[in-house]
Amino acid sequence: FGGWDVEVLGDVNGDGWDDYVTTEGNSAYSGSPTYVYMISGIDGSILYSLVGTPTFLYGRYVANAGDLNGDGIPDFAVQAGNPLQVDVHSGVDGSLIHSIGRPGPLFVNGVLCTAFARTLDGGEDLDGDAVPDLVIGDPLAPNTAGDAAAGRIYVYSGGTQTLTFVDEGGFSGTFIGCGPAQGLGTTLALLGDVDGDGIGDFAAGAPHQPTSPTDWGFVRAYAGQPWTSDGARAGNVNANGVGGVVDVLRVDVGMTGQPSAGQGTSRSLDLTVGLPFSLWMAAPPAGPGIAPYVLWGQVSEALVFQAVTLPFGVGDMAITPPFLAPGDPTLFTLSDTFSYANQLLPAFPAVGQGNGIAVSSVTTGIPFPATFTLQGVILDASSPVGVSVTNALRLHVD
């Protein structure tokens, strides 16, 4: 059964042409070998192959997993094993990166019911850590109530190789045995960022799930979610004041006079290349009325970073300040109204509460695609050390 599944990966051998992976999975003939082939996109030659054994079969289903090992080449995930699992392999040479075991429970009246990895999709960041993640469907799995053929979907973090999300279908009928493999997870799709929060989203179909006495089938769309609440993105301005932590850093996309970006946008906004914008900064509620600040930046696709603790009890940041990692080319000082030294963009100190004022402007916009996160420290009368960490703000220019 050659060509059971085919997935384009991208250029894995450096010849400038996209290559693809295909499976010859689970033959009807007991004990026969199973194969995964990496095929050259330019001439159809086999770049390399993986060969299963009678006790370890490669499955029929394969997916582009994105670059999971950081070598700049896309990797792939394939249904494998007995019992079923998912193996993630290097796109360069097919070497195993890691394996994902089948979650449970999966029994209906004592019968094992699973089609784990019947569907696979990957290559997009669904949790904001700038590492692509993997969605796996099991349309034959029962739900936790024991309903047969309810189906399940699983999201696995590419960064931590851990299960981060599970959903399951509902009752779809009474069956002798496992029922049809048409529950939730029969189909999967990565959607890109459809809700504008900076994180990829995805969808799953369940064609055999009833939606009314006469209708069957539905699609659920899911919003990608940060793998952690990442409180460092909120900063700690006014943490010791009335009302608690507030956002003081905002952006006015298009220079309309009305800034936006706050908790409701995951502190992330999309801009188009060449679109003018201005940065706004408000003084902390406790003062001072004119508040100097320094604003740093980090170039990265990530929405969520590991927290960085500033010295002297200032607080946690979502990005690394340049003074803690000198020589890192992804880090920069955007504006510094304490010293006005080594800044890329001249700015004014923050004035007033609420939205504050426009402290700096980029009237010609950014002329090329880029993604970066801004965050800094600001003078804050409510802080026991005199300064607080601003909220983070991620700008995705495309």
Q: Give me the CATH number covering residue 195.
A: 2.130.10.130
**Cis-peptide into 103, omega within 30 deg:** no
**Who wins on pLDDT, 32 or 135?**
135
Query: Can you tell me the mean pLDDT for 339-359?
Result: 91
* Angle in degrees, CA 67, 73, 75, rounded to 5: 55
- Measured distance CA(10)–CA(272) in Å, rounded: 26
- Widest CA span of the chain, in angstroms? 79
Range of the domain at 19: 5-222
In a domain, 386, yes or no: yes
User: Is the Cβ–Cβ distance between 350 and 277 less than 8 Å?
Assistant: no
**For residue range 58-69, what is the model confidence (pLDDT) as tens digits?**
778 999 999 999
Q: Is residue 287 located within the same domain as residue 393?
A: yes
In a domain, 161, yes or no: yes
Q: Is 374 exposed, middle or buried (0-12, 13-18, 19+ CB in 10 A)?
A: buried
**For residue range 250-309, what is the model confidence (pLDDT) as tens digits?**
999 899 998 876 555 567 788 899 999 999 999 999 999 999 999 999 998 776 667 899
Q: Is residue 120 located within the same domain as residue 173?
A: yes
Paired with 222 in beta bridges are: 202
Q: Is residue 172 located within the same domain as residue 277?
A: no
Q: Is residue 276 located within the same domain as residue 387?
A: yes
Q: Give the pLDDT of residue 233.
A: 83
Using the structure block, give the residue that is written with the tokens 């493999």: 181
110: left (phi > 0), else alpha (psi -120 to 50), else beta? left
Using the structure block, give the residue that is written with the tokens 């040479």: 93
Query: Can you tell me the mean pLDDT for 218-241?
Result: 81
Inter-CA distances, 214 with 167, 204, 209, 211, Å: 24, 21, 11, 8
Number of domains into which the chain is organized: 2
> Of 222, 254, 289, which one is at a domain's C-terminal end?
222
CATH number at residue 271: 2.60.40
* Angle in degrees, CA 42, 47, 50, rounded to 5: 140
Backbone angles phi, psi at 371, to 5 degrees: -135, 125
Q: Give the pLDDT of residue 261.
A: 62
Indicate whether 209 pLDDT > 60: yes
> Of 169, 193, 222, which one is at a domain's C-terminal end?
222
Indicate whether 228 pLDDT > 70: no
Which pTM was predicted?
0.68
> Of 165, 189, 222, which one is at a domain's C-terminal end?
222
Element (H, E) at 181: none
Q: Is residue 205 located within the same domain as residue 287?
A: no
Q: Is residue 177 located within the same domain as residue 319?
A: no
**For residue range 79-118, what is the model confidence (pLDDT) as tens digits?**
887 778 999 999 999 999 999 988 876 787 778 888 899 9
Q: Give the pLDDT of residue 88.
A: 95
What's the pLDDT band for 28 if we cut at 50, 70, 90?
A: very low
In a domain, 297, yes or no: yes
Q: Give the pLDDT of residue 1.
A: 65
The letter for the amino acid at 48 is Y
Backbone angles phi, psi at 23, to 5 degrees: -120, 150
